[in-house]
Amino acid sequence: MIPIDWSIFQQIGSEPIPSHLKKWWFALGGTVMYLFIIQIVTGIMLTFYYVPTPEQAYQSIAEITQEIRFGWYIRSLHKWAANLMIVAMILHLLRVFFTGAYRHPRQLNWMVGFSLLMVTLMFGLTGYSLVFEQLSFWGATVAANLVDAMPIIGGWASYLLRGGETVGGDTLTRFYVIHIGILPTVAFILVALHIMFVRLHGVKEDDSDLNSVLKEKRYFKFWPDHVTTEMMVGAFLIYLLTIMALIFPAGLGEPANPNVTPAHIKPEWFFYFSYRLLKLTTLKMSVIITMTMGGIAFFWPFIESFFVKYFNMPKQVSIILGALAFTGFLTLTVWESFA
Ligand code: HEM
């Protein structure tokens, strides 16, 4: 007999879930989690063959893509799940924001979630650069310049990130350690905290549900009901990712050449808004605007309560500001993608 009290697991597994979580839109956090797990599994598989040195990085990716059995599939899954994870996270954030689920008592969990978004963007930046092709190399150069333009810590942070004055071999080693060591550790801790807070406060009730549905009908079981739904969503996602991997397999451009600047340098799509701002204003201004917007979003639950308490601000103002901010983000992103 293993000396474990199994009833604890039964208790954890049978947590009642509010019935509005049957709508996928409300349970998007589970989708993000599923994609994160795909990233861990495919990422570990890629590290078996990837060599993080400037001389061999590009060649090892070429081997994964062209020679190793199912290498192209695992690489494409890793690439598409990363993109989908960022999309799902943005949708999850929008759901949380527009249902007001960031308010008391969940302010801290909003901040943990927002930190997870930042960590994921860092995953994207460092991962893209590991390919060491022309575009990813110069994309990393643009990103390092953006970091460099940060007030006060910019110079120090960009030097630390690049391992020197310019992007080069040392940058690759650093990006690799950050991508496969530091970020996963931070992400694990933040996800654990996030889920702990979700369980502590429970998922926010759907206000429109409270009056219309009988109280005893408003919950369903985590196991097996919610887990079964999540597994179905998971199966669909693998199907979708496989289709994407087949139609748009992860490609490989020219090898990185620090001496030749390509005609069109572009970072990954999730940095397009900053890049477009950079073109519209200056490098420094773009970084300052991005950081200010990020800071406001991070502290929004507290900023909102401050204005509600001392200036009687109606809570609907948040909805308008959130919609404006998201429209701005979307416009800059789409604008840059057609440029
Ligand atoms: C790796 C990234 C993330 C994972 C795995 C994750 C996972 C989850 C899960 C499973 C839930 C339970 C309800 C649901 O499924 O929607 C949840 C709720 C929540 N998440 Fe996330 N999340 C992530 C990122 C974020 C981000 C970017 C934000 C916002 C900035 C955020 C803020 C919240 C808040 C405030 C709740 C409570 C919502 C409520 O009670 O209705 N999360 N998250």
Q: Domain boundary residue among 199, 233, 261?
A: 261
Sign of the alpha-carbon torsion through 297, 302, 304, 310: negative
Residue 219: Cβ within 10 Å count: 14
Cα of 277 vs centre of ligand 1, distance in Å, is 28
Instruction: Indicate if 249 and 278 belong to the same structural domain.
Output: no
Instruction: Indicate if 169 and 299 belong to the same structural domain.
Output: no
Cα of 29 vs centre of ligand 1, distance in Å, is 5
| pLDDT tens sequence across 294-315 | 999 999 999 999 999 999 999 9
Residue range 166-170: mean pLDDT, rounded: 86
Q: What own/partner pairs with CB < 8 Å and gap ≥ 24 does 322-329 have?
A: 322/94, 322/97, 322/98, 325/293, 325/297, 326/94, 328/273, 329/273
Q: What pLDDT does residue 225 have?
A: 84
Q: CB–CB of 108/197 below 8 Å? A: yes
How far apart (Å, rounded) are the C-alpha atoms in residues 293 and 17? 34
Instruction: Indicate if 309 and 165 belong to the same structural domain.
Output: no
Closest residue to atom 25 of ligand 1, CA basis: 113
Residue range 167-185: mean pLDDT, rounded: 94
| pLDDT tens sequence across 185-233 | 999 999 999 999 999 998 888 776 555 555 555 778 888 888 888 999 9
Cα of 84 vs centre of ligand 1, distance in Å, is 16
Instruction: Indicate if 251 and 292 belong to the same structural domain.
Output: no
Instruction: Indicate if 199 and 296 belong to the same structural domain.
Output: no
Domain tally, the chain: 2
How far apart (Å, rounded) are the C-alpha atoms in residues 224 and 219? 13
Instruction: Indicate if 214 and 279 belong to the same structural domain.
Output: no
pLDDT tier at 243, thresholds 50, 70, 90 = very high
Decide if 4 is inside a domain: no
Ligand 1 pocket: which of 15, 19, 31, 194 to mutate (most atoms <8 Å of CB)? 194
Question: What CATH number does residue 121 fall under?
Answer: 1.20.810.10
Cα of 321 vs centre of ligand 1, distance in Å, is 21
Closest residue to atom 42 of ligand 1, CA basis: 113
Cα-based distances in Å from 92 to 24, 116, 155, 244: 10, 12, 34, 22
Residue 231: Cβ within 10 Å count: 12
Closest residue to atom 8 of ligand 1, CA basis: 29
Closest residue to atom 6 of ligand 1, CA basis: 29
Q: What pLDDT does residue 143 have?
A: 84
Instruction: Indicate if 107 and 165 belong to the same structural domain.
Output: yes
Among 73, 1, 13, 11, which residue's Cα sits nearest to residue 42? 73
Instruction: Indicate if 121 and 220 belong to the same structural domain.
Output: yes
Instruction: Indicate if 118 and 173 belong to the same structural domain.
Output: yes
Instruction: Indicate if 231 and 293 belong to the same structural domain.
Output: no
Ligand 1 pocket list (CB less than 6 A): 27-30, 32-33, 36, 89, 92-93, 96, 101-102, 106, 109-110, 113-114, 116-117, 191, 194, 198, 203-204
- The answer for residues whose C-beta is within 8 angstroms of residue 156's C-beta and 6 or more apart is none
Q: How far is CA 328 from the centre of its chain?
A: 19
Q: What is the pTM (predicted TM-score) of this model?
A: 0.93
Closest residue to atom 20 of ligand 1, CA basis: 113
Cα of 197 vs centre of ligand 1, distance in Å, is 10
Atom of ligand 1 nearest to the CA of 27: 15
Q: Tell the residue number behind the tokens 């081997």, with chain if given.
A: 63
Q: How far is CA 287 from the centre of its chain?
A: 19
Q: Domain boundary residue among 241, 261, 281?
A: 261
Ligand 1 pocket: which of 19, 198, 229 to mutate (most atoms <8 Å of CB)? 198
Cα of 205 vs centre of ligand 1, distance in Å, is 14
Instruction: Indicate if 84 and 219 belong to the same structural domain.
Output: yes
Closest residue to atom 28 of ligand 1, CA basis: 113
Q: What pLDDT does residue 216 have?
A: 55
Least confident of 26-35, 80-89, 259-268: 259-268
Asked whether residue 290 carries a pLDDT value surpassing 60, the answer given is yes
pLDDT tier at 339, thresholds 50, 70, 90 = confident
Q: Domain boundary residue among 197, 226, 261?
A: 261
Rounded to 5 degrees, φ, ψ at 315 are: -65, -20
Cα of 288 vs centre of ligand 1, distance in Å, is 27
Residue 332's domain comprises 268-339
